[in-house]
Structure 1
Amino acid sequence: MTHLMRRYFNGTVSAVDLGAKISRNKTPYFLTEDDIVASVDTAIGEFTDTLRRPFNSDTLPKIKGFITNIGLPYATLNKNGSLDRLSLKLFQGYVVDYFAKGVPLSQISISTDSVTSVLPLSQQKRDEAYYNVLNKAADKFMADGWLADNEQRMIESYTSSLGIALNCLPMQYQSESLCRIGQAIVLKDLQRGILPQKPLTVPVMLSRDEAPLWIYDNVTMLQEKITREYVGGSRGMSYRICKGLTYRTGSFKGHPVERSFMDTIGVGQLVITNKNLFFHCPTASVKIPYKKLVGVTPYADGLEVHKEEAKPKRTVFQGFDAWFVMNVLNQVNI
Structure 2
Amino acid sequence: MGTCKYCGRNAGWLSKAHSECKSKHNQGVNDFKAVVSNYFTGRAAAVDVQNFTNRLKVNTFLSEEDICQIADKEIRHYTASIHRPFSPASMRLMDDFLNAVGVAYNSINRKGAVDEFTKKLMRGFMVEYFTGSLTLPVAHQRCEKVLGKFPMVQSNIEDAYLYVLNKAATNFMKNDIISDGNWQKIDDYVNYLQLPVNNLPARYQNSQISRLWQLTILKKLQNGVIPTSNMPAPIMLGRGESIIWTYDGVSMYQEKTVKEYGGRRSGWSFRVMKGVTYHIGSTKINPIEHTYMDLKGTGTLYVTNKHLIFQSPTSAQKVPYTKMIGVTPYSDGIEVHRDGANAKRLTLQGFDSWFLMNVISQIANM
- Class of the TM-score when normalised by the shorter of the 2 chains: 0.7 to 0.9
Q: Does 1:315 align with 2:350?
A: no
Q: Which residue of structure 2 aligns with residue 30 of structure 1?
A: 61
Q: Which residue of structure 2 aligns with residue 174 of structure 1?
A: 205
Q: What is the one-letter code of the residue matched to 1:44?
A: I
Q: Does 1:183 align with 2:214?
A: yes
Q: Which residue of structure 2 aligns with residue 163 of structure 1?
A: 194
Q: Which residue of structure 2 aligns with residue 243 of structure 1?
A: none
Q: What is the one-letter code of the residue matched to 2:158?
A: D
Q: Which residue of structure 2 aligns with residue 288 of structure 1?
A: 319
Q: Does 1:228 align with 2:255?
A: no
Deviations 1:177-217 (A, max 9, x none): 22222222221111121112334444444444333322222
Distance in 2 between residues matched to 1:165 and 1:23, nearest whole Å = 46
Distance in 1 between residues matched to 2:125 and 2:166, nearest whole Å = 15
Q: Which residue of structure 1 aligns with residue 282 of structure 2?
A: 251
Q: What is the one-letter code of the residue matched to 1:153?
A: Q
State the superposition RMSD in angstroms: 2.8
Identity percentage of aligned residues: 38
- SS at the partner of 1:26? helix
What aligned pairs does 1:85-234 form with structure 2 within 5 A after superposition? Answer: 85-145=116-176, 147-234=178-265
Q: Which residue of structure 1 aligns with residue 363 of structure 2?
A: 332
- SS at the partner of 1:215? strand
Which runs of 5 or more residues in structure 1 are unaligned? 240-245
Distance in 2 between residues matched to 1:73 and 1:272, nearest whole Å = 46
Distance in 1 between residues matched to 2:350 and 2:49, nearest whole Å = 56
Deviation at 1:333, TM superposition (A): 3.7
Q: Which residue of structure 2 aligns with residue 49 of structure 1?
A: 80
Which runs of 5 or more residues in structure 2 are unaligned? 1-31, 271-276
Deviations 1:198-256 (A, max 9, x none): 344444444443333222222111122222333343134689xxxxxx99630225644
Distance in 2 between residues matched to 1:200 and 1:176, nearest whole Å = 20
Q: What is the one-letter code of the residue matched to 2:85?
A: P
Q: Which residue of structure 2 aligns with residue 7 of structure 1?
A: 38
Deviation at 1:72, TM superposition (A): 3.0
User: Structure 1 residues 312, 248: CA separation in 2 closer, same or farther (over 3 Å shift)?
Assistant: farther
User: Structure 1 residues 209, 9: CA separation in 2 closer, same or farther (over 3 Å shift)?
Assistant: closer
Q: Which protein, 1 or 2, shows the higher relative CO under an 8 Å CA cutoff with sep ≥ 6?
A: 1
Q: TM-score, normalised by structure 1?
A: 0.86
Q: Are the counterparts in 2 of residues 147 and 184 from structure 1 also a CA contact under 8 Å?
A: no
- SS at the partner of 2:174? helix
Which region of structure 1 is more displaced relative to structure 2, 217-226 or 56-65? 56-65
Deviation at 1:172, TM superposition (A): 4.3
- SS at the partner of 2:73? helix
Distance in 1 between residues matched to 2:311 and 2:334, nearest whole Å = 16
- SS at the partner of 2:297? strand
2:99 to 56, 68, 74: 68
Which region of structure 1 is more displaced relative to structure 2, 109-118 or 155-164? 109-118
Deviations 1:240-292 (A, max 9, x none): xxxxxx99630225644322211111222222222332222333332322233
Q: Which residue of structure 2 aligns with residue 242 of structure 1?
A: none
Distance in 2 between residues matched to 1:270 and 1:114, nearest whole Å = 38
Q: TM-score, normalised by structure 2?
A: 0.79
Q: What is the one-letter code of the residue matched to 1:72?
A: V
User: Structure 1 residues 14, 110: CA separation in 2 closer, same or farther (over 3 Å shift)?
Assistant: same
Q: Which residue of structure 1 aligns with residue 51 of structure 2?
A: 20
User: Structure 1 residues 63, 136: CA separation in 2 closer, same or farther (over 3 Å shift)?
Assistant: same
Q: Are the counterparts in 2 of residues 165 and 198 from structure 1 also a CA contact under 8 Å?
A: no
